[in-house]
Structure 1
């Protein structure tokens, strides 16, 4: 499988250092669509603050990917749903760390979550 980033320099605004406009996946045999995942512990309790929820969230995503024989290296698309726009910087930092600096197409949306204690939710698409 091969990943090819596409960041045109004309006709569109520049991508920042933490994402790419598009990622072409060549030779993938499988796609995994991961539902919105929250920063909940195994008992379903949310982390006490944004940092703990982001840690739990990425741990949960890694466990879900592992169940399909994948890792965060297989993530090709990511959408974050933030309860507050003030969470954008911490969310981007957690994503960058979780992906080891690898850039993928991302979108962040400010939304009301179903439970006010859920501060961030992330869904991903992975290819393998």
Structure 2
């Protein structure tokens, strides 16, 4: 698969760990992962935002593994957070998880279905 980050010079540049667009060519598989929430397998929910964010990424990893993929295959992320005050911690935990990977990304501050959830993340992966 050929993967190329696109950041047009005549448009705003990314302000963080993402690309404005990602072009894919010659991929064979495309995976859409539904919004993953900060729930552990036993239904417990971590209390603080950082722990919830790490759990969401663990849940994403589980879905990717089940499809025979890994985080290096992520090309698009949609993140929904419950409050703007979580922006910095979200960026920190996301950077821990993604490292140098720069997928296309959207971040929305939104009300989530369960008030105990502080974030929800969905991804698209390709191989």
Cα distance per residue 1:81-119 (max 9 Å; x no partner):
000011111112211221122111111101101111000
Distance 2:17 2:31 in 1: 22
Measured against aligned partners, the alpha-carbon deviations of 1:34-74 in whole angstroms (never above 9, x if no partner) come to 00001111012211111111111111100110000000000
Provide the rounded CA distance (Å) in 1 between the counterparts of 2:78 and 2:91: 11
Structure 1 runs of 4+ aligned residues shifted over 3 Å read: none
Aligned pairs for 1:27-42 within 5 A: 27-42=26-41
Instruction: Please state whether the residue corresponding to 2:77 is helix, strand or coil.
Output: strand
TM-score (norm 2): 0.95
Cross-structure match for 2:14: 15
Distance 2:14 2:99 in 1: 18
Q: Which residue of 2 aligns with 1:99?
A: 98
Query: Would you say the 8 A contact 1:88–1:108 is kept in 2?
Result: no
Give the paired residue count. Answer: 127
Q: Distance in 2 between matches of 1:82 and 1:17?
A: 16
Question: What displacement does 1:80 show?
Answer: 0.4
RMSD over aligned Cα, in angstroms?
A: 1.0
* Aligned counterpart, 1:90: 89
Gaps of 5+ in 2: none
SS of the equivalent of 2:101 reads coil
Q: Which residue of 2 aligns with 1:79?
A: 78
- 1:36 and 1:122 in contact (8 A); partners too: yes
Please report the TM-score for the alignment, with normalisation by the length of structure 1.
0.95
Separation in 2, partners of 1:90, 1:2: 32
**What is the aligned partner in structure 1 of residue 113 from structure 2?**
114
Q: Equivalent residue of 1:97, what SS?
A: helix
